[in-house]
Structure 1
Amino acid sequence: MTDDLFRADAYLRTCESRIVRLDEAGIVLDRTVFYPLGGGQAGDTGTLALADGRTLAIADTRKAKDAEGRPTDEILHVPAPGQETLLATLSPGDAVTARIDWERRHRLMRFHTATHLLCHLVAQPVNGCSITPDYARLDFHMTDPLDKDALTAGLARLVGAAHPLAVGAITDAELDANPSLVKSMSVQPPRGTGTVRTIRIGGEAEAQIDFQPCGGTHVANTAEIGAVVVTKIEKKSANSRRVVLGWAA
């Protein structure tokens, strides 16, 4: 199991680690700041700095899979192509410094929090999600039309209000008792540990903007998102509307 430091602090950019194992799929560390692809959010990129000063470029981060293809608790750091000679010199136990591409990660964090604001503005179930450094999209299970300008204005209002964001947790039993907290139809929160990680935007009760299970990385305050706009709204099917977010020009 990889100690995923980003769950507790999304602002960590680097950490000291040791290689647990490595194969053709990637490198597993004992602890990491790299977020793996999941929940619609892209995996991190960055570098692993070796003790002798050499640097290995990481092109993607994924969850490792077992023999049946099911995700495990290990995180794979996928090397960029063309580094086979360097990889051949690595061994389990080697010390490395893991460092994410912070500018790229921060864009992902800002977009991910923006999608939660969008869930507040469009109170419908989500049946698809993609969060990249350059755009984000949510597919809503609905038939009514959506207004691009109204959504952009709503996002600007919520960003400008500087709502704080807090990471928390609820028990599996609490989630079972409140199934409406799960906004996604396509991705279910991981269970089995007894608790489920949550994201809360705003205060509690009447002041709450969003509260839902989420394992992704987020900014600490909506003001940090900056200027985002709805660039496109598409009718994907009779009961699906896609909203695409982009950075304001």
Structure 2
Amino acid sequence: MTTIELYAENSYRKECTANILSIQERFVVCNQTVFYPGGGGQPCDRGIIKQFGEIYEVVNAKKIDGQIVHELNRQLQCTQQEVRMEIDWPWRYQNMKYHTLLHMISGYFYQQYGALATSSQIEADHARLELAFSPEIVSVIPFEHIEKSLKEAFIQPQQVRTKTMSRREAEQNAGILKTYLNILPASLTEIRVVEIDQIDEQACGGTHVNNTSEIGDFSIVKIQNKGATKKRMRIQLLD
């Protein structure tokens, strides 16, 4: 039985009750969860599980064979009683803002320069994005003014939406979505897509804000060369 991923339906949901499917020492699987298990450079959620007045810290969450496995700081005592899950909301919301911003920046560079994001990672106080450019264009991009250009491009708030489409439909897409399909498992027939109006459209299973206005101000702290045609950007939220 797979775990129902409530975070995919509503990124703003902070808690839920759930029935236990299995327990193996400190590792618990439930029928549903609000805990995002990490992926795509976004860390997993933190938080707690409550049962019989006892509080257990969720120190890690991971998706394995369709089930979300919650690693607790100590073993849960009862397998029959339902549990209550509560995520660390400030941590989740910060990651939502960073994840959405990374989509926006990678979408901008794809639209403006045909660049592809090759990796990303969200840390506790910043995010990292690596971009690959064609040799003929990387030398003429005004990176010294890129923060100003990004902020001008993002000045109008945009809605962020999720939808599901078939892989065949996604393959017919002419934009960046089709470009990234080849890195997804061939067995994946239904694709969850995150769409930011006029900015980006990518396959993604992570959590995001509903509107780009929620992100607030940001800074491009550092841009490093990672080879002749690759750049690594360090990004920091300022609010």
TM-score scaled to structure 2, two decimals?
0.87
The C-alpha deviation readout for 1:24-46, integer Å capped at 9, x for no partner, is 46211110010012111111100
Contact 2:45 2:61 in 1 (8 A): yes
Match of 1:205 in 2: none
| Match among 86, 90, 93 for residue 78 of structure 2 | 90
AA aligned opposite 1:130: Q
In the alignment, what sits opposite 1:102? 89
Partner of 1:219: 209
Aligned to 2:56: 56
Residue number in structure 1 paired with 2:126: 135
Q: Which residue number corresponds to residue 171 of structure 2? A: 176
Aligned residues: 229
In the aligned structure 2, how far is the partner of 1:147 from the partner of 1:25? 51
Cα displacement (A) at 1:16 = 0.7
Q: Deviations over 1:158-180 (max 9, x none)?
A: 54311111111221101223374
Q: Which residue of the partner structure matches residue 220 of structure 2?
A: 230
List per-residue Cα deviations over 1:200-245 (Å, max 9, x = no partner): 111xxxxx21111111100000000011111111112233211111
**CA 1:19–1:177 in 2, change beyond 3 Å: closer, same or farther?**
same
Q: 1:112 to 1:122 in 2, by over 3 A?
A: same
Tell me, which stretches of 5 or more residues in structure 2 are unaligned? Answer: none
User: Is contact 2:171–2:178 with CA below 8 Å preserved after alignment?
Assistant: no
Q: Which amino acid aligns with 2:123?
A: T
Q: TM-score, normalised by structure 1?
A: 0.84
- Aligned match of 1:162: 157
Matches within 5 A, 1:34-73: 34-50=35-51, 52-64=52-64, 72-73=65-66
Offset, 1:140: 0.8
Q: 1:107 to 1:182 in 2, by over 3 A?
A: farther
Q: Which amino acid aligns with 2:183?
A: Q
Q: Is the 8 A contact 2:132 2:230 kept in 1?
A: yes
Alignment root-mean-square deviation, CA: 2.2
Q: Which runs of 5+ in 1 are unaligned?
A: 65-71, 203-207
What is the aligned partner in structure 2 of residue 116 from structure 1?
Answer: 103
